[in-house]
Every structure is written in C-alpha cells, then in structure tokens.
Amino acid sequence: MIAFRFAYLSFAFLLVFTSALPCGYSAAESSIVDEIAEEQLPASDDNLTPSKDHPGLFVNGQGELVDDLGTIIRLSENKNICIKCHYGKHEKIVVAWDKSKHSRKKVLCIKCHGGNSEGSTLKEAKDETKTNFKHIKESMLKATGDVVKELAFDYCGQCHGDKYRDWEAGIHGKRTGFWNGEKEYWVCIRCHDPHNPKFKKRVPKPRPLKPDEIVFKKPQNVVVKNIKSGK
Amino acid sequence: MDDKEDITRRGFIKGAVAGAASLAATNCSGGGGLGSLEAFFQSHFKEMDKEELQRTLKRLEREYSEKYGKDFVVKADKPIEGTLFGYGLDISRCIGCRRCVYACVEENNQSRDPQIHWITVLRFKKGEKWLELEEADKYYEAEKVPEDGYFYVPVSCQQCEKAPCTKVCPVQATWKEPDGIIVIDYNWCIGCRYCMAACPYGARHFNLTDPGVPAEETNPNTHYLGNRPRPRGVVEKCTFCIQRTRNGRYPACAEVCPAGARKFGNLLDPNSEIRYLIEKKRVFRLKEDLNTLPKFFYFISL
C-alpha cells in the first residue's frame, strides 16, 4: 500500500560519508581505578581540624584542605586524589567514568571539577561560585542565555572545540524555541552524561505496520470501487 | 488508475452537472469538511476572498468541534514574508528511535487505525558499496538503537522546489506556497492519487477510509492546509507542520528528536542554522538526479 518506489536512487554519495560514522571503540588501556584501588589513605594524628566532607583530610587555619602532614593538597600534584575517595562514595560515577573514553584519554576528575588551573586547591575546587559537584548540574540545566555557552565551553567546549562551534550554531545538540526568535540551547550534559559521555542507546518506538497487517474497515455509504494495491 | 471511477464530487462540479441529485449520490464524506452543501460549493482555497475564507474556517471549526467534542481552531495563517523553509537532517547523529514518527502522528492528526505515518525511518547497513532505497529496512526492530553497524535515514515529504506531484494534479488541489511548503486543499482533492504515483519519495498517503483518530488524542490547533482532520478519500502528507512553523515554532519532529539531529529554518536567512549546515557540512539530497530540488537536506556532522 505505501510501498516506496525508490528505483533510481543513487546512494553512493551517502556511503562515502557514512563509512566515517563512529563505530565501536576498542578495549581499554590500563585503568586508573585499578592502579589506585589498593592504596591507603594516610592516618591523621596532627592537631589540624578534621575535614567534615573529607574524612582523612584536614582543614588548616586558612581553611585549606591539607593532608596529615599539613601539606596543602594541590590538584596539580594529586591528579587521582578525587578518585581515591570518591570511588567508594560515588562508585557509580567513578566506574562509569573509568569505562568511558574520557578515562582512557586521561580526562581526570579535576579537568572538570575544581577548575582547570593547575595550581588550584581543593578549597577552590569546592568553591560554590566556581565548580561544585552539587551545583554544576543545577546551574547547567537552569542556565539561560550566554551563561549556557560559558558553561558548555568551560566544561566541554575547551576540549571539544569543533562540537562546541557546531553546537553554538545550533547544529550539534539541539535548540528549541522559535526558528525565527528566542532559542533555548540544550547544554551538553542534557544529552551526554559527563562521566560516561557516549550518547545513550534507547528503546525505539514500534515499527510501522506492514501492508498486510493494515486492516481497512469496510467503508460505509461510499462508492470506492477498484481500489488497487494502492500505488 | 481508472479515471471514471475515481473522479468523484469535484469531477461533477467540474463537469457542471452539480444538480441536487448527483450531490446526494456523491456526498460520500463521513464528516471532516465535505458533508454540507456549503462545503460542496466552496471555492478553491486560493480563490476564496476574506469573507468566504472566514466562513469556511468557522464552518470547519464547528464541524470538528462537534465531531470530536472539543474546541477546534482552524487557522489559515499566511506565509511569513521573506521565508523559504528548509529542513536539515543529520544522518550521522540520527539514532533511528522513531520518536519523530509518532510525534508527527500526534501533532498532525494522522489516522491511527488504519495506520498512516508521514515519516518513515529507513535503516541501512554501514559501509556497503552500493545501496538502493527500496532495499532499506523500514520495519527494523531492535532492543536498543542505534545498532552497531547501521545508520538511519528518516524520509518524509521533501518539499521539492520542482515538485512532480503538483504538476500531475488534475484539479490543482495541491500546490507550492510562497514559503516553499507543498500543501493540499483536502476539500478540493478528488482522491485520484496521481500525485502519489508522481512522488519519487513515497511521501504522500491516501485516506482509504475515514481516518481513525480517537477524539481525546486529536490536536485541536490546526491549519486549513495542514493538520486539520481529513475526510476519507483524500491524499495527505507532511507540511513542515505549517500550523507551527508559520508561527515561528519548530516542526514537531524537530522538537522531539532526542539526538538533536533535525534542523529547520529559513533558507533566505544567512544566519539560520539551515544555511550554516548547507554551507559548512557535507550535504546531499535524495535522488538528486531526478532534479526535483528538494528543500530537505541530509547532512553529516561527525
């Protein structure tokens, strides 16, 4: 009935390009989680205030997080430090991240959390006005206007410049609203889980019925004769 | 197709034999706009003056509201000046989930039973040397999409600039609007289906019976040339959601796409996303060799 008549299609063109589509990604290199899983955290016995959020770490007089020797924890020197603890606390996140391309390409927690300046401290990392775990999601999903672009750039665009440019033009990702007016950008994390960014597969909607599955109820009071197979 | 038997109501008018007797014999509409004498003598959409148009819209609103038990609006918004609509579809990001198919059905009051879909998603194997559209699978079933090794190409009306379908209509019931949308006047269509035969994309669909749309699922915000309920015996197809896009909104399929693979905009606006993708991405159109000049652009972004 609704058979396609695509006899003369020249589709070679299409093929040339689609062979460049993303395909499966091959096996993991060494896992950071594996590397550090065995390590223990240092015990504390100094007279620094134990950190409320970060048991095992301490807060010094200036409010900086320090280790048991009073050394300020600098992200640049402790690239895997977040994973060490957050593996237990946020196992799902760390495991997801560990399996993702981000982990394989050494996109560490601190690349997104705690700013990206190599000298920043844990205190700065947790600065709510900058990058706080809890607040990122909310501020990203609620942001409007240029803030959305800043966030998308800061978190993802700095490394994915090509995607960011396309996204800004409305090509990658998605904009809703009005084609001739106000548009709302979808931030990257609305489609990509930052800890496992590969676009999630989903269940497709039902296939269309085949011609022989479509039942036409007998038309009433109508003279439709000679209905052929419906070309 | 057999002319004699297919020509119905409109044929009689054209032949100037529209007496009361033939009217009764050919009044075959089951509601949806052709039931009344007034409807029968209505002018062609493009020839209606303001007053007749208003009368017609009001009449249709009354009929639909009665039939479906809720308030219908039937607009006839004119094209926005300086627009020529174009559509872009990123086949490198389409995941074949068919959300667009069903969003379209709901927005455009397509018949659920018997089933009519204006969008068909075709599935192709990646990397094959040569492919023909008819070999594509539109009935694929998968637990999750996208499936490894496949890509997907949704096909609907390509809104051709040189549309073969409008040329073959014997009664000018289908034409191209100034903003580029190919429309159908369902009150004028005689159901001969020449246009369906002429369309190389299989994008036109015929209401063999009364469209079956549950009243509670109808979308009451309609356009005369778009998603208003159709009577039986007429052809229908995608209109770029004329009822939405002429008000600045995105087509329903573009709005629902979870991958963001569907793009829509004004081809005459150099800053539009559609122009960006045509200029910056690798773009192709279906069956380019037929010279139908579709305004539906497939592109690859990854």
B40, B189 Cβ separation under 8 angstroms: no
Of A23, A176, A201, the CB nearest to B250: A176
Which residues of chain B are within 8 Å of residue A17 when distances are taken between CB atoms? 92, 282, 300
Residue A204 lies in a domain: no
Ramachandran area for residue B31 (φ above 0: left; ψ -120 to 50: alpha; else beta):
left
Q: What is the pTM of this model?
A: 0.80
Q: CA of A175, closest CA in chain B: separation in Å?
A: 8
Instruction: Give the number of domains in chain A.
Output: 2
Cross-chain Cβ contact A207/B250 below 8 Å = no
Residues A100 and A73 in one domain: yes
Using CB atoms, which residue from B102, B145, B206 is nearest to A202? B145
- Candidates B102, B119, B134: best to mutate against A (most CBs of A within 10 A) is B134
Q: Are B278 and B297 in contact, with CB atoms under 8 Å apart?
A: yes
What's phi and psi for A102, nearest 5 deg?
Answer: -60, -45
Nearest CA in chain B to A166: B301
Residues A59 and A142 in one domain: no
| Cβ pairs bridging A and B (under 8 Å) | 211
Q: SS3 for B252?
A: helix
- Residue A144 vs residues A139, A152, A154, A225, B113: alpha-carbon distances, Å: 9, 11, 15, 58, 42
Cβ–Cβ below 8 Å for A6 and B266: no
| Whole-angstrom distance, CA of residue A178 vs CA of residue B214 | 30
Using CA atoms, how far apart are residues B57 and B29, in angstroms rounded to an integer? Answer: 18
- Which residues in chain B have their CB less than 8 angstroms from residue A184's CB? none
Q: Which residues of B touch A193 (CB under 8 A)?
A: none
A58 φ/ψ angles, rounded to the nearest 5 degrees: -135, 160
Mean pLDDT along residues B59-65: 96
Asked if the Cβ–Cβ distance from B258 to A215 is below 8 Å, we say no
Same domain, A120 and A6: yes
Q: Dihedral sign, CA of B46, B48, B51, B52?
A: negative
Tell me, yes or no, whether A203 lies in a domain. Answer: no
Domain assignment of residue A105, yes or no:
yes
Pairwise CA distance, residues B171 & B192, whole Å: 10
**B254-279, pLDDT tens digit by residue?**
999 999 999 999 999 999 999 999 99
Last residue of a domain, one of A128, A147, A164: A128
Maximum pairwise Cα distance, chain A: 96
Name beta bridge partners: A59.
Answer: A49, A65
Q: Is the dihedral of CA A35, A38, A44, A49 positive or negative?
A: positive
- Please tell me what DSSP assigns to residue B289: G
Residues B223 and B48 sit within 8 Å (Cβ to Cβ)? no
d(CA B35, CA B60): 10
**What span, in angstroms and rounded, lies between the C-alpha atoms of B34 and B64?**
12
Distance CA(B107)–CA(B104), nearest Å, equals 5
User: How large is the angle between the packed helices A161-168 and A145-152, nearest 10 degrees?
Assistant: 160
Of A90, A111, A128, the domain-final residue: A128
Could you give the 3-state DSSP secondary structure of residue B124? strand
Q: Is the pLDDT of residue B111 over 80?
A: yes
Contact B287 A22 (CB under 8 A): no
Per-residue pLDDT of chain A (231 residues; tens, 9 = 90+): 333 333 333 333 333 333 333 333 333 444 555 554 434 334 344 467 877 666 667 777 777 777 777 777 665 555 566 666 566 667 788 888 888 998 888 787 767 765 433 444 544 544 544 444 445 556 666 666 777 787 777 778 888 999 999 999 999 999 999 999 988 888 888 899 988 999 999 999 999 999 888 877 665 444 444 444 433
pLDDT for A4: 39
Say whether both A45 and A107 belong to one domain. yes
Contact B97 A202 (CB under 8 A): yes
Give the pLDDT confidence score for residue A83 in this predicted structure.
65
- Identity of the residue in A19, A191, A210 whose CB atom sits nearest the CB atom of B139: A210
Say if residues B110 and B213 touch (Cβ distance below 8 Å).
yes
Nearest CA in chain B to A25: B148
Distance from CA of B67 to the nearest CA of A (A): 17
Indicate if A35 and A101 belong to the same structural domain: yes
Domain shared by A141 and A94, yes or no = no
| B101 interaction partners in chain A (CB closer than 8 Å) | 205, 208
- The CATH T-level fold of domain B71-302 is Alpha-Beta Plaits (3.30.70)
- Residue whose pair of structure tokens reads 């019976």 in the numeric block: B209
CA distances from B29 to A32, B19, B187 (A): 70, 17, 10
Assigned domain for A173 exists:
yes
Q: Which of A11, A201, A224 sits opposite B145 (nearest CB)?
A: A201
* Residue whose token pair is 């778009």: B226
Q: Show me where the domains of chain B are located.
A: 3-70, 71-302
- Residue from B208, B209, B154, B201 nearest B182 by CA: B201
CA distances from B212 to B111, B115, B116, B225 (A): 5, 8, 10, 19
CA distance A189 to chain B (A): 12
- Looking at the structure, tell me whether residues A118 and A65 fall in a common domain: yes
What domain range is A153 assigned to?
136-191
Distance CA B251, CA B248 (A): 9
Q: Where are the beta strands (DSSP E) in A35-119?
A: 49-50, 58-59, 65-66
- What is the percentage of chain B residues whose pLDDT exceeds 90? 79
Cis peptide before B114 (omega within 30 of 0): yes
Q: Are residues A113 and A162 in the same domain?
A: no
Interface probe, candidates A13, A163, A179, A188, chain B, greatest B C-beta count within 10 A: A179
Q: B25 or A154: whose pLDDT is higher?
A: A154
3-class secondary structure, B285:
coil
Backbone angles phi, psi at A64, to 5 degrees: -85, 145
Same-domain pairing of A177 and A110:
no
Name, in order, each residue with C-beta under 8 angstroms of A110's C-beta and a sequence gap of 6 or more: A75, A79, A82, A116, A125
Measure Cα distances from A7 to A2, A11, B49, B199, B238 in Å: 15, 11, 43, 12, 22
Q: Which of B83, B99, B301 sits opposite A171 (nearest CB)?
A: B301
Regarding whether A145 and A59 lie in a shared domain, the answer is no
| Cross-chain residue pair A171–B90, CB shorter than 8 Å | yes
* d(CA A141, nearest CA chain B) in Å: 16
Secondary-structure percent of chain A, ordered helix, strand, coil, rounded to 5: 35, 10, 55
Choose the weakest-confidence range: A28-32, B113-117, B125-129, B177-181: A28-32
Cβ-defined contact of A8 to B290 (cutoff 8 Å): yes
Same domain, yes or no: A8 and A81: yes
How far CA B214 is from CA of B41, B80, B106, B109, B110, in Å, comes to 29, 33, 11, 9, 10
Shared domain check, A119 and A161:
no
Q: Is residue A205, in this structure, part of any structural domain at all?
A: no
Cα nearest neighbour of B269 on chain A: A180
